[in-house]
Amino acid sequence: MSIDLPDVADTTGQAAAEDRQAAVEPKQPSMVLRRFLENKLAILGLLLFLAMAVFCFLGPLVYHTDQIHTRLSEQTLPPGPGHPLGTDQVGYDELGRLMVGGQTSIEIALGAALVAVVLGVVWGTVAGYFGGVIDSFMMRIVDSVMSIPALFLLMFLATMFRPSVLMLILVLGLLAWLAPARLVRGETLSLRSREYVQAVRVMGGRAPRIIFRHLVPNVLGTIVVNATFQVADAILAIAAISFLGLGIPPPAANWGGMLSDGLNYTYSGFWWLIYPSGIAIIITVLSFNLIGDGLRDAVGLRAHRRL
Amino acid sequence: MATMLEISDLVVDIRSGRSTVRAVDGISLTLDPGRTLGLVGESGCGKSTTGLAVLGLLPAGGKVTRGSIRIDGHEIVGLREAEARAIRGRTVGVVFQDPMTALNPTQRIGAQVAEPLLIHGMANRSAAMKQAVDLLGEVGLSRPAAQAERFPHELSGGMRQRVMIALALICGPKLLVADEPTTALDVTTQDQILQLFDSLQQSRDMSILLITHDMGVVAGHTDEVAVMYAGRLAELATTHRLFGGYRHRYTEALLESIPTLDTPRGQRLATIAGLPPNLGGQLAPCRFAPRCAHAEQVCFDVEPQWSEQGEHGYACHLPRRTDADLMTESAGAPS
């Protein structure tokens, strides 16, 4: 980009200096990006997640295994030629299963986080913007849903509906939107008294325009951070319900289910049924936490410098 | 001549928790087309609340309890929000104090300035953008087309305030409400912005309600002045008359507390003793009496009546005597 000359409209030294500085600074989103990229841990998180995604989604194109038909003759083989990570209790290749299971886990986690964030942002901005009775009513709903133990609700819903990827996305999303809703509502309460919102109101802007053009873009910084933590939480939640035997039924696989199946064989010494899925979960959750931390710092720093 | 803004006997109550504060207590003002009215007073005197009532932006718990506000002949008190918005929308523009928070940090300034045109369906997107760029040029941004692509944080305070002014003017309002528009700016920028107001007012024949605490701003850039104290009008006059012969003791105290270069070194600056009264508590009949250097018993017993001579009104039992008074007195007195 070319470096703009100081603006002549402002003749004060300070204003001109500010202007010059403003001119060389890149635009807002790239400022956040740059600070994010300066954060080594955040980069590590991003690389870890990319590695997991490549492993799960592109791996099966290179490493072909049959993840549909059980082979009881090849049960619980230890790692060795042909099966780098051994086979599980019904003869599936563990490495191939790790890839397929990872696909499900990542898809559900991203989907659930998206549902949670979209619902939470809309709910929170609407409640925060209108305030008063509407706000109280909407936030009491959030409080009451939050007061029900999430695991209990998950088990209840998982027994009522036949678990599938889509169903799990909806169930996890519908459980997870509460935190972002609260977060966004709080942020909206302060944003709605900002003068630019007031100015739009004076000029006749209606609620939908104010909410979607002026409030939502301003809470995105906060919510992007929350979204990454939502992904990590969802991966753990899938593991938890699979562990309880309420996950997606076989032959579909996911990391949580693989881990819980493997744990039955703890005392048989079949370590290859436990470590791979456990480590995959840890790496993915960790990667999203690192990304979230990095984003929070990048976004937070921006707010700091602006004030 | 039709008045642009007519406020009569306006009372605004602000309820917070159990207590109610009467922030504005029966003020009446008129503002004619093409004129500027300065609304001055200390913090908490109700000047901003009056402005917010005109704009329909009273805070939660705030309510116009009595009186009327007519904008360009239309009564807006008692209307539903949507109806009031229809009247205000294109007729009224607003400029706020702090240009840091008055612009949406996530939108490019061109899009922001163009937005009111889109809200009112006055232009399509590309025409609105073109108008916005033209107006940004008119308010004094150089290379407006390039500036329109920038975000608010890339501009200096003075430039942001110019953008805010463009945003307020894009629909061609007949009334501009400016709430402390220069308070957050440094002195040189302040002056440029005020001159911009003056020239825009001339070219657009617009009325301006200028809310400020700065008597210097009032002196140079208004046609009429309303001095408010504790929710009431203390004095109302044309700017010329007011500075030529202010009567109210509060106006006197305000003007005397402006330091001048002639003040001898070492002399303490003149101040008004005490603080503005708590509007939720007990108030003296003349609300300024407890702080007034000239107050007498009558000020604590009887509420001062509004007296008006020509274009000059005030509410004070013991008004300051002007030079003209002194002259008539000495002429009339038997020697």
Instruction: Give CA–CA dist B31/B224, Å, rounded.
Output: 9
Across the interface, whether the CB atoms of A10 and B107 are under 8 A apart is answered: no
Is residue A15 within 8 Å of residue B159, measured between CB atoms? yes
Q: What are phi and psi for residue A180, nearest 5 degrees?
A: -60, -35
| Per-residue pLDDT, A62 | 80
pLDDT at B308 over 50: yes
| B222 or A160, which is more confident | B222
Q: What is the mean pLDDT of residues B307-318?
A: 86
Give A-chain residues touching B143 at CB under 8 angstroms. 4, 7
Contact with chain B for residue A74, Cβ under 8 A: no
| Per-residue pLDDT, A14 | 44
Least confident of A253-267, B214-228, B285-299: A253-267
Of B105, B142, B157, the CB nearest to A218: B105
Residue B302 CB neighbours (<10 A): 11
Across the interface, whether the CB atoms of A199 and B153 are under 8 A apart is answered: no
Contact with chain B for residue A2, Cβ under 8 A: no
Is residue A255 within 8 Å of residue A105, measured between CB atoms? yes
What would the pLDDT profile of B189-217 be if each residue is shown by its tens digit?
888 888 888 888 888 889 999 999 888 88
> How do the pLDDT tens digits run along chain A, 307 residues long?
444 444 444 444 444 444 444 443 334 566 777 877 888 888 898 998 898 888 888 877 887 777 777 777 777 777 777 777 777 777 777 788 888 888 888 888 889 989 999 999 999 999 988 888 998 999 999 999 888 887 787 778 777 877 778 888 888 888 888 888 998 998 888 888 888 888 888 887 788 888 888 888 888 877 888 888 888 888 888 888 877 777 777 777 888 778 877 777 777 777 777 888 888 888 888 888 888 888 877 766 444 443 3
Tokens of B197: 């107001």
**In CATH, A30-306 is 1.10.3720.10:** yes
Confidence of residue B335 (pLDDT cuts 50, 70, 90): very low
In chain B, the percentage of residues whose pLDDT exceeds 90 is: 14
Instruction: Give CA–CA dist A94/A265, Å, rounded.
Output: 14
Is residue B27 within 8 Å of residue B75, measured between CB atoms? no
Least confident of B195-209, B216-230, B316-330: B316-330
Mean of all residue pLDDT scores within chain B:
85
| Per-residue pLDDT, A5 | 43
- A/B interface, count of CB pairs below 8 Å: 128
CA-based nearest residue to B251, from B231, B230, B235: B235
Q: What is the mean pLDDT of residues B35-48?
A: 88
Confidence of residue B329 (pLDDT cuts 50, 70, 90): low
| Per-residue pLDDT, A291 | 86
Give A-chain residues touching B119 at CB under 8 angstroms. 200, 203-206, 209
Between the alpha carbon of residue B329 and those of residues A50, A206, B241, the distances in Å are 92, 61, 20
Contact with chain B for residue A194, Cβ under 8 A: yes
**Model ipTM value:** 0.73
Sheet (strand B175-179) strand order: B92-95, B175-179, B207-212, B36-40, B224-229, B232-238, B312-314, B307-309
| Per-residue pLDDT, B333 | 53
What would the pLDDT profile of B136-146 be if each residue is shown by its tens digit?
998 888 888 88
Give A-chain residues touching B104 at CB under 8 angstroms. 196, 213-214, 217-218
| Per-residue pLDDT, B211 | 92
**In CATH, B5-229 is 3.40.50.300:** yes
Interface of B with A in 103-132 (CB under 8 A): 103-107, 112, 115-116, 119-120
Mutate: best of B156, B159, B165, partner A, most A CBs <10 A: B156
| Per-residue pLDDT, A306 | 37
Confidence of residue B60 (pLDDT cuts 50, 70, 90): confident
Burial of A290 (0-12, 13-18, 19+ CB in 10 A): buried
Contact with chain B for residue A195, Cβ under 8 A: yes
Domain boundaries, chain B: 5-229
Provide the whole-model pTM: 0.74
**In whole angstroms, what separates CA B70 from the centre of its chain?**
16
Quick one: CA torsion of B287, B292, B296, B300, rounded to 10 degrees?
A: 20
Longest dimension (CA), chain B: 79
Of B56, B119, B186, the CB nearest to A205: B119
What would the pLDDT profile of B153-165 be if each residue is shown by its tens digit?
888 888 888 899 8
